Amino acid sequence: MPPREGTYGLLAEFDNPSDLVRAARQAREDGWRRMDCYTPYPVEEAAEAIGFHRNKVPLVTLVGGLMGLTAMFALETWVSVLAYPLNIGGRPTYSWPAFIVPAYEWTILWAGLSACFGMLALNGLPALYHPLFNAPNFRDGATTDKFFLCLEALDPKFDLLEGRAYLESFQPTSVVEVEY
Amino acid sequence: MAHESHAATHAKTLPADLGAPAFVDGWTKRALTVGAIFSVVAVILALLGQSQDQLGWDHLLRAWVLGLMLTFGWSVGGLALLMVQYCTGGKWGLLFRRPLEAMSRSLPLVFVYWLVVVIAMKKLYLWAQYTSVSDTAAALQAGLINEVQQHCLDFKRPMLNPVTFTWVGLLCFAIWAFYVWRLNSLALQREADKAGNTPYWIKKLENISGPGIVVYSLTMTAAVIYWVMSMDPTWYSSVYGLLFLVGQGYSVLAFCIIVSISLSKAEPFKTILRQTEQHDMGKLTFAFVMLNIYLAFAQFLIIWSGNLPEEIPWYLDRIRGHWGIIITLDFIFHWLIPFSMLLSRDIKRNKRRLVRVCQWMIFAKAFDLFWLIEPNFKDAARNLHFSWGILEYVAVPVAMVSFWVAFFCTRLKTRPLVQVNDPHLAEILEPEHAQA
């Protein structure tokens, strides 16, 4: 794929989360779909405002946890019943209460790892490059105290001039054009 | 400052009337009606049971202990969670503090419930029936108890006898009553004081609550050992108090969530109950669901691994003779269902569904107590069978819990539902996206 060129989108900067949420909600209502919010800390209402209701991390975590549970329980059963049956205090070889603890630990371990790496993968990370970092105010503010709304050029409604005027109607601190 | 002015314009304001909404009176009436109906049912069942197997009144008393443990869990467990809240702080205190205070002030009713156990202890506890060495020897001769029981009854008599039982109980109730009185009256003084003095009050309540949690853990351990564990004088478990402690957290949180969500149909909780805090409480409840099974299974695993004749019969009494069905259902009801439900973020954030889960948890707690209590008795150990008396485990706890709920509602009415002298009040009135 040839390198992308041209405009990535228009980036509006806000001073507080309330204004960002209001702008994002309005933009979604006006038919914008390719857009994203960037905040220094998780703002759940911003995610809801742009129509982002659920992600797949819980599912990945659940599947990971169940895999860990099954794998360890099966391993223990195989070792104790088939591969190396031992008589421990006259107990049956299939002594499930004793298998629970390692199986539980593996459930936690695998659920945790799946949540962590699943989240990174679903976020598209690690990413070596993102066009938004071309905007100086984004570099300085996105992780400290500024709230951003980006209307992306991929949206069919996108037009450089109209989009800028549209964003300015929300009275942001600034609107800048971001290049790829 | 643009931010502050914006926050100010978006913030909600508290209604003028902070009292409990009028429909709480309706709850009282409904609870009293249900309580009255089920009391009649309980008496009828006792008479039926008496004519069937001579155990009707015995079953009524056993079920009474179940009702006592449930309401005791809410009352004293509520006191404990109140103290925990004073130590941890946090916005959820605004939602739970007044319901928890009202729960703790229901202690007199729990005391009355306990007095019934004191009066009827001969029917419930072997150690109350056989109070001397000659008594146990005669009972052994008559085949009423076995040798292990005889030995344990004689050995444990300094602790397990009617006088100690009564005095330990009275002492525990006195200590709980002291903390209830202290925390409840100081909360009112804090409200009456100037807003500037709030940091002093926060520190003061924290200093009372910290040691109070330790005292609570010790006294409630003593109480559950006497009231429930000693029904089987041969058995002991060092995690028993902790199991009930976590169980109280489980049922107190479930009850508090039901109360605050039900109150949010009207002011003032309509204004202050936000989804964020509701979600947080769902997560805290989830933690208790986990801890509960963790301890219950740890106890089982250790006793199963040890496989000692002193310990294992307690589990065998509760597994063999069809009790295996009950313990399996207990596992499903008490852990699997609440755990799976509370995993879901959507359920924790949905008022109606979260209330359903919490109601289920309270039922499951009662079911678990049934499994703990009934197999202590000779007629039921390793022998789960239907009798009219078994139905007492539904009728009596429902009646006792209903009367307790009615009493709780009257306590709830006596104070404004929202504390105004609280630094978190401004935060909880802000829109949910306003803070990190």
Per-residue DSSP letters for B303-359?
HHHH--TTTHHHHHHTTTTTHHHHHHHHHIIIIIHHHHHHH-HHHHH-HHHHHHHHH
Taking CB atoms and an 8 Å cut-off, how many pairs form between chains A and B?
39
Selected for mutation to probe chain B from A13, A15, A18 (highest B CB count within 10 Å) is A18
Interface of B with A in 383-422 (CB under 8 A): none
3-state secondary structure of A8: strand
pLDDT lower than 70: segments of chain B: 1-10, 433-436
What pLDDT is recorded for position B297?
Answer: 96
Which DSSP symbol is given to A12?
Answer: E
Q: What tokens does A90 get?
A: 């006259």
For residue B378, report the phi and psi dihedrals to the nearest 5 degrees: -55, -40
Q: Kindly report the pTM of this predicted structure.
A: 0.88
Q: Give residues with Cβ within 8 angstroms of A97, minimum separation 6.
A: B300, B301, B304, B305
Q: How far is CA B396 from CA A95, B47, B109, B157, in A?
A: 39, 14, 15, 30
Residue contact A62–B343, C-beta within 8 A? yes
What pLDDT is recorded for position B433?
Answer: 61
Chain A residues with beta carbon closer than 8 angstroms to that of B331:
none
Residue contact B433–A41, C-beta within 8 A? no
Contact B85, B93 (CB under 8 A): yes
Contact A63, A168 (CB under 8 A): no
Compare all CA atoms of chain B with the CA of A22 and give the residue at the minimum distance: B433
B345 touches chain A (CB under 8 A): yes
Residue contact A18–B307, C-beta within 8 A? no
For residue A176, report the phi and psi dihedrals to the nearest 5 degrees: -125, 155
CA torsion sign for B84, B86, B89, B91 is: positive
Residue contact B433–A43, C-beta within 8 A? yes
B103 vs A88, residue with greater confidence = B103
Chain B residues with beta carbon closer than 8 angstroms to that of A43:
433
**Is B341 exposed, middle or buried, given 0-12, 13-18 or 19+ CB atoms closer than 10 A?**
buried
pLDDT tens track for B95-151: 999 999 999 999 999 999 999 999 999 999 999 999 999 999 999 999 999 999 999
What pLDDT is recorded for position B6?
Answer: 46
What pLDDT is recorded for position A2?
Answer: 63
B26 touches chain A (CB under 8 A): no
How close does chain A come to B85, measured CA to CA in Å?
A: 26
B290 vs A123, residue with greater confidence = B290
Residue where the block lists tokens 């909360």:
B187
Q: Mean pLDDT across the stretch A73-85?
A: 96
What pLDDT is recorded for position B426?
Answer: 83
Residue where the block lists tokens 């909404």:
B21
Spatial distance between the Cα atoms of B340 and B52, rounded to a whole number of angstroms = 41
Tell me the ipTM for this assembly. Answer: 0.80
Confidence band for A3, pLDDT divided at 50, 70 and 90: low
A144 touches chain B (CB under 8 A): no
pLDDT surpassing 80 at residue A31: yes
Residue contact A45–B432, C-beta within 8 A? yes
Q: How far is CA B357 from CA B240, B255, B350, in A?
A: 26, 11, 11
Selected for mutation to probe chain B from A16, A20, A21, A147 (highest B CB count within 10 Å) is A16
A18 touches chain B (CB under 8 A): yes
Break chain A down into helix, strand, coil percent, rounded to 5.
50, 15, 35
Compare all CA atoms of chain B with the CA of A59 and give the residue at the minimum distance: B344
Compare all CA atoms of chain A with the CA of B301 and give the residue at the minimum distance: A97
Residue contact A16–B3, C-beta within 8 A? yes
Of all helices (H) and strands (E), which one includes residue A175?
Answer: strand A174-179
How close does chain B come to A89, measured CA to CA in Å?
A: 9
What pLDDT is recorded for position B138?
Answer: 96
Spatial distance between the Cα atoms of B41 and B47, rounded to a whole number of angstroms = 10
Residue contact A97–B301, C-beta within 8 A? yes
Chain A residues with beta carbon closer than 8 angstroms to that of B7:
16, 18
Residue contact B432–A101, C-beta within 8 A? no
Amino acid at B398: V
Do the bridges between strand A174-179 and strand A147-152 make them parallel or antiparallel, or are there none, so unpaired? unpaired
3-state secondary structure of B156: coil
3-state secondary structure of B105: coil
3-state secondary structure of A37: strand
The beta-carbon neighbor of B307 closest among A18, A89, A101 is A89
A58 touches chain B (CB under 8 A): yes
For residue A151, report the phi and psi dihedrals to the nearest 5 degrees: -90, 120
Spatial distance between the Cα atoms of B2 and A16, rounded to a whole number of angstroms = 8
Cis peptide before A3 (omega within 30 of 0): no
What pLDDT is recorded for position B10?
Answer: 67
Q: What tokens does B273 get?
A: 């109950």
Selected for mutation to probe chain A from B12, B295, B336, B433 (highest A CB count within 10 Å) is B433
Contact B114, B68 (CB under 8 A): yes
Residue contact B432–A44, C-beta within 8 A? yes
Among the residues of B54-161, which ranges form H helices? 56-88, 92-104, 107-119, 121-124, 126-129, 133-141, 147-155
